Amino acid sequence: MPGCCLLLIVLAVPEQDAMDLAARIVARAEAKLGERVGDGSCSGLVSEALREAGARLGAGDSDQPWGRAVDPSEQLRPGDVLVFRDAAFVHRERQRNGAVRTTTARMERHVALVSAVDRQAGAMRITLLHQNAGRPGANDDRRQVVQRWVIDPSEMTEGTVTAYRPLPGDSTQ
């Protein structure tokens, strides 16, 4: 038809965009397992994974560069960023010989990426990707590489954990 044109409008679904972004963030961090990212700091890994995935990064040293705050007990999902402040987790595990092994992990000021959330029978386990973590005094070559840890929020005995959902940047990579 003369004078006719075709107009195609594509609407992005924000939830799907967020899920795609989260998958890219986790993939970028998992690809670095066992490697040192940047200066080996915990924020170095998170910043690089978000930047490479196309997430928006803010400026400054506050927690806000990581995205929109979400409720960690209800809304947490892979790709989210956890900020720990003076947090301590105490894990007790009964050994075969009957002894109880107690492990304490302290995170004074720490940031990590969520790679998985497992909710079963009212319990939650969070799989983290992070670096610059481990026993105080441990060799930096072991601490300052990307590691995978699983934490149980019910084992937190002190401190706070704040969760952030990264936001898409102006253009994704």
Residue 133's domain is classified under what CATH number?
3.90.1720.10
Tell me whether residue 100 is in a domain.
yes
Q: In what order do the strands lie in the sheet with 147-151?
A: 68-70, 156-165, 81-94, 100-120, 123-130, 147-151
Compute the distance between CA of residue 69 and CA of residue 37 in angstroms, rounded to an integer.
25
**Phi, psi (5° rounding) for residue 20?**
-65, -45
What's the pLDDT band for 63 if we cut at 50, 70, 90? Answer: low
Q: What is the DSSP letter of 34?
A: T
Tell me the residue range of the domain where 21 lies: 14-165
DSSP state for residue 132 in the 8-state scheme? S
% residues pLDDT > 70 (the chain): 80
Domain membership flag for residue 170: no
How much is the pTM?
A: 0.82
- Asked if pLDDT for residue 12 goes beyond 50, the answer is no
Residue 4 covered by a domain: no
Residue 142 lies in a domain: yes
